[in-house]
Structure 1
Amino acid sequence: MRKCVWILAVLAAGAIAGGDVASTAVGNLGHQLVDKDALRTVDVELVIAVDVSYSMDEDELVVQREGYAQAVTSEEFLQALKAGPSKKLAVTYFEWSGSDDQKVIVPWRLIDGPESADALAAEIMRTPVRRGSRTSISGAIRFAIPLFDQNRYHGLRRVIDISGDGANNEGPPVTKARDAALEKGITINGLPIMMKRTTVSMMDIDNLDSYYEDCVIGGPGSFALTIKEREKFKEAIRTKLTLEVAGRTPAYRIVSAAESGPRVSCGIGEEIWERRSRW
């Protein structure tokens, strides 16, 4: 009798232990599934790279910040977001100037509606505006590329949205950085800012729009929107972000450098800087 009781006790203990093991196994499996599922699908992974070099005056920097903050909360942007397959996007926002001067203002955030868009806008406006020396578009692109592997999202598209008011004048050639991004399936769109006359600064070029189209942007559906009037600055930012979220391009078609030779030297910024340094 005692032997039977002992056997039953052992069997009961084994069942309990087995249950614990099974429970632990299920728990571990569930944890693995959660980790795997943590890579949430979004319509686009968007890196916003904003020029804060000294060629941008303080008023332009403020308008630029406000433009992005207002764009992500605009009705057009939110409607484009709702029309996407997942109705979500992941975005990060950083500022750049020289080849080693990049600062993340907003780490990766999931935007899935008005509330998260408002939070993003507040976060963009919260950080004091700053300025930096030199203009390294290549440095900004090289900084942006690994950011895509540092988030928890899987985008149907990966896009770098880069704005600036001058040509690359520091760091590696801009075309090398662009090509490195394209090899990874990343699209680069541009926002060349041309609100000043070229006489304002020795580093300005009067065909910055062509420079961006031929030397900076690239990838499927890539495009550039040029800003030439201050009063249309915010409108251009809103239009650009809306098109990027919707996966659309402007009505006109841009001929890329891959299809025709660049209309302006892709090393013009470095050439101007070298001439300037000799004076």
Structure 2
Amino acid sequence: MRRLVLSLIISVIAALPSARAAEKVDLLLVLAADVSRSVDARKFQLQREGYAAAISDRRVLEAIQAGRNGRIGLTFIEWSGFGNQKVVIDWTMIDGPKAAQAFGDRLLESPRSFADRTAISGGIEAAVAQLARAPFTADRQTIDVSGDGTNNAGRDVTSARDEALKLGITINGLVILSDQPLPWNPEHTNPPGGLAKYYQDNVTGGPGAFVMEAKDFNSFGEAIIKKMIAEIAQAAPTGRQAALPPR
């Protein structure tokens, strides 16, 4: 009788999600979006719509399904000033159109999280924390940082980046260029040498890391499609981009 009870207990425990081995995916990808106050309501909406459309884009889904496992783990976080980071959509397995569409729909329905300063370092730290608690396993872990300005809050962004790189995480960047510099701080969105160079020097790194540019928020959607395809397929992106050597 004891053996029977013990056997039943073991069977129940083994059936629990936490007790099963984590499912294997081809990539763990954190989409980390800047929602600082330089991103006004129109820009925010364009950014959200761009991400939602990209996730369910046919080309992105084809890249996902071409992988060894045919699926990726995806989560979406928003970040702004110091201490302002939020998981908008928790880890989700994307393995086809249905899951991708549901992810995009939830993203469009979720309210904006913040409108504070720009702590890219905090965004990276939050993304690293999410990768550590992912319910899936993958040989590749990538943080996809999009933003329209330099780090101006929280700790030094290069320290946060370097700590992530030591964990084997790749950080890619999608910079959103601004035609009109901020009147109160023009170098925030238009630093010397350009925002793409700032990201290359301070934010991105890891094997195959790259920075892509969206000339403005209106072109963000197509840029994020190219970027996600490159990340999923681990290939150099096409279009306006700068590939980086491993750090």
User: What are the Cα deviations for residues 78-116 of structure 1, in whole angstroms up to 9, with x where unaligned?
Assistant: 000110010111111011110210111101111111110
Q: Identity percentage over the alignment? A: 37
- Number of residues paired by the alignment? 240
Instruction: Specify the code of the residue in structure 2 equivalent to 1:154.
Output: T
Match of 2:179 in 1: 196
Q: Distance in 1 between matches of 2:115 and 2:182?
A: 21
Gaps (5+ residues) in structure 1?
Answer: 1-16, 259-279
- Residue 38 of structure 2: SS of its match in structure 1? coil
Equivalent in the alignment of 1:223: 210
Which one has the largest radius of gyration?
Answer: 1
Measure how far apart 1:132 and its partner are. 1.6
Matched-pair contact (CA < 8 Å) for 1:213–1:256:
no
Distance 2:131 2:184 in 1: 35
The yes-or-no answer on 1:254 pairing with 2:243 is yes
Aligned to 1:245: 232
**Secondary structure of the residue that 1:47 maps to in structure 2?**
strand
- The separation in 1 between residues aligned to 2:26 and 2:244, in whole angstroms, is 26
Q: Distance in 1 between matches of 2:69 and 2:208?
A: 20
Deviation of 1:249 (Å): 2.0
Among 109, 112, 130, the alignment partner of 1:126 is 109
* Aligned counterparts, 1:106-145, within 5 A: 106-145=89-128
Give the Cα separation in 1 of the matches to 2:14 and 2:246: 45
Q: Which segments of structure 1 move beyond 3 Å, counting only runs of 4 or more?
A: 29-38, 255-258
1:87 aligned residue (70, 88, 91): 70
Distance 1:42 1:255 in 2: 25
TM-score, normalised by the number of residues in structure 2: 0.89
Alignment correspondent of 1:96: 79
Gapped runs of 5+ residues in structure 2?
none
Q: Which moved more, 1:230-239 or 1:62-71?
A: 230-239
Which of 58, 62, 73 is the aligned partner of 2:56? 73
Structure with the higher fraction of residues in helix conformation: 1
Distance 2:244 2:221 in 1: 26
1:177 and 2:160 matched: yes
In the alignment, the residues of structure 1 paired with residue 59 and residue 184 of structure 2 have an alpha-carbon distance, to the nearest angstrom, of 35
Shift of 1:214: 1.5
Deviation at 1:253, TM superposition (A): 5.5
Quote the Cα distance in structure 1 between the aligned partners of 2:49 and 2:212: 18
TM-score (norm 1): 0.80
Cα distance in 1 for residues equivalent to 2:220 and 2:42: 12
- C-alpha distance in 2, partners of 1:132/1:257? 33
- Structure 1 distance, partners of 2:144, 2:44, is 16
Give the secondary-structure state (helix, strand or coil) at the position aligned to 1:91: strand
Task: Output the CA distance in 1 between the equivalents of 2:142 and 2:246.
Answer: 19
- Contact 1:101-1:132 at 8 Å conserved across structures: no
